[in-house]
């Protein structure tokens, strides 16, 4: 009986081998998960995330393109209007083109000797008008008939959509009561170039 038990119980050499096998097993599991299966799983997961991300991007891209195409149709009125408004601001410094334009405008209506002075310019507070500047001008019309002046003001307000008259001063000329001396303080929205 004793000899049977001694045969079944492991001896020292066997215990050492058993321990070695256990260590080998642990090392194998560690190497397998750390250097083989782990990176593979991470790569697998990251690719799945990328695929899902790209698929959602593709989905939203289609919606985005449809939206842009619809917006293009809806914005046709706004774009043509915007083009018309920007065409009121020619290239170059406003001080170079606005006074001659006013002079020509009033000269065409038989009001001569018009002078235009720049009073100042300010940016707009509205974020949407960051590309525009508000210019204030003083227009002096030294001699104008009231009838002609009325026509000129009406014409100016109708043709210069971005111009508004803030102040108007009409004084009869003591030397010739038929005519008036007029000064207009106007502000215009001009596109920054």
Partner 1 sequence: MALHLNLLHEEFQEQRQRQRDPLKIGMMVLGGLGAIMFIYYMWNAYQTLGIRRQLNVVQESWSKVEPNVTAAQKRSKELNGIISTTKVLDGIIESRFYWAPFLEKLSRCVAPNAQLTSVDGAVLEDNRGVSVMIEGLAAGREPRAAAEELRQLLLEQLGQSYHDVKIEFKTLEDLDTLAKIGGANMAMARFALSVTFNPSNPAKVAPPAPARSKK
Positions 70 through 129 that interact with partner 1 (CB under 8 A) = 71-72, 75, 78-79, 81-82, 85, 126, 128-129
50 is a site residue for partner 1 (CB under 8 A): yes
8 A C-beta contact, residue 19 and residue 26: no
Residue 150 binds partner 1, judged by CB under 8 A: yes
Compare residues 98 and 149 and give the one whose CB is closer to partner 1.
149
Residues 6+ apart with CB under 8 A from 85: 161, 162
Contact residue for partner 1 among 30, 34, 48, 123 (CB under 8 A): 48
- The binder of partner 1 chosen from 58, 91, 175, 176 (CB under 8 A): 58
| Closest approach of partner 1 to the CB of residue 168, in Å | 5
Beta bridge partners of 137: 118, 186
> Which residue in the set 4, 5, 147, 176 belongs to the binding site for partner 1 (CB under 8 A)?
147
Binding-site member from 57, 113, 117, 193 for partner 1 (CB under 8 A): 57
Residue 3 or 91: the one with the smaller Cβ distance to partner 1 is 3
CB of 44 to partner 1, least distance (A): 5
Kindly state the helix (H) or strand (E) to which residue 5 belongs, with its residue range: helix 2-8
Query: Which of 68, 96, 104, 122 touches partner 1 by CB under 8 A?
Result: 68
Residue 68, CB half-sphere, CA atoms under 13 Å: how many? 6
| Rounded Cα–Cα distance for residues 35 and 190 (Å) | 67
**180 DSSP β-pair partners:** 144, 172
| Closer of 122 and 154 to partner 1 (Cβ) | 154
**Measured torsion, CA atoms of residues 23, 26, 28, 33, in degrees rounded to the nearest 10:** -160
The Cα 145–Cα 177 span in angstroms is 9
């Amino acid at each position: 009986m004793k000899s049977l038990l001694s045969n079944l119980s492991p001896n020292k050499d066997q215990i050492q081998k058993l321990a070695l096998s256990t260590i080998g097993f642990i090392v194998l599991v560690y190497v397998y998960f750390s250097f083989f299966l782990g990176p593979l799983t991470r790569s697998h997961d990251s690719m799945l995330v990328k695929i899902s991300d790209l698929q959602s991007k593709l989905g939203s891209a289609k919606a985005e393109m449809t939206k842009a195409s619809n917006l293009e149709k809806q914005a046709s009125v706004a774009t043509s209007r915007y083009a018309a408004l920007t065409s009121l601001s020619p290239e170059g410094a406003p001080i170079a083109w606005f006074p001659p334009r006013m002079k020509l405008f009033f000269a065409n209506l038989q009001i001569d000797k018009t002078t235009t002075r720049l009073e100042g310019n300010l940016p707009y507070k509205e974020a949407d008008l960051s590309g525009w500047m508000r210019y204030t001008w003083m227009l002096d019309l030294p001699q104008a008939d009231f009838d002609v002046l009325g026509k000129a003001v009406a014409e100016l307000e109708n043709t210069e959509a971005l111009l508004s008259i803030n102040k108007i001063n009409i004084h009869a000329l003591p030397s010739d009561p038929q005519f008036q001396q007029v000064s207009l303080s106007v502000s215009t929205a001009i596109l920054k170039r």
